[in-house]
Structure 1
Amino acid sequence: MVESVRWRRLRWRLRGAWQWPAFAVLTVGDALLVAWLPFQGEGGDPWGAALLAGFFNLLAIAVVAPFLGMALRRRRPDLPFMIARDYAGTALLVTIFAALLVGGLLHRSERAAQQNARVVSELAAREWLRDEEPRFAPITFVDTLELEPNRYRACAYIAADRDPICLFVNTDQHPPGLIRDTERLPNRR
């Protein structure tokens, strides 16, 4: 009799013990999605994305999964509470992953437009400096900061000069509108 109870418990554990392996795999997947296919903004660093994904996945398992497990157990009283909670936790983890994937795919075109506008602003700043200020021709680096949608501050660094030459770039129009900034402070300040 003890042997049959062990086999039954083992069968339940094998069928219901997917929450923690799913947590490990989907937390890494969520972090990669947040970093490389963000649902908002331009993405983040992988460590911050891993912390964010781990926090939300733990919150879902610790807070929401027990309540969903109780609701599942009401519909299926034959399930042990631990198994119902594991099923609910795994379903929540998969739902979070799917929501991040759909959000990232929906935001993808907007992100591509932002990146394109950033490249246009850098090219416009380089062309303006080449045409208007030829003495600053050897541009080594252009740092672009998005001030608001389609409005950038592009700072060009010249090899011989420590302070950058900065321009405000409006990419709403064609060709982009450029206004020289009188401040020669870098964008990181």
Structure 2
Amino acid sequence: MASKFVMVIILVLDMIAFGLAVTAEQRRSTAKVVEDEEKTYDYCVYDSDISTGFGVGALLFLLASQIIVLAASRCFCCGRSLRPGGPRACALILFLLAWITFLIAEACLLAGSVRNAYHTRFRKMWDIETPPSCDTVRKGVFGAGGAFVFFTFILTELYYYFFSKANDAGGAHYGGSSGVKMSEFR
């Protein structure tokens, strides 16, 4: 059966990643327009850059979780073959779905972090006639990343469970027989 230790580690890492993604969404940078002392131009002043760190942290915890699952299951394709049947088919489908949601989650977290860091670290100055727009990260980018972190967690746990079930199935593994088996001929 599935290793409870691996499943608990996946749970802990994914829940930390989810928490960091939700916190990044709540702590997105805000901006205000400020006029310089000589009143020649306006510029945007952003508050803290903490959501970038939370987004990158969520990205790294999710990546660590995925690496552990891949190492524990030998990336589904390496190692001995799995016994044919329902658990193997479920494991394959869940493996593909988990990778899709993982890639979407990583893309959302990376895009939100990069965009937030860009806004808070670089200043663009405008003349007094055209006020600045003070762009910030769109609401929901980190939230979408957090939602896909949660979906990835569910699919990964189920994948690992079905992979272990197919891997531990009784009898010889598919392709594990070394001889040719024949029935009696009459």
Q: TM-score range by the shorter chain?
A: 0.3 to 0.5
TM-score, normalised to structure 2, is 0.37
More strand by share: 1
Radius of gyration: which is bigger? 1
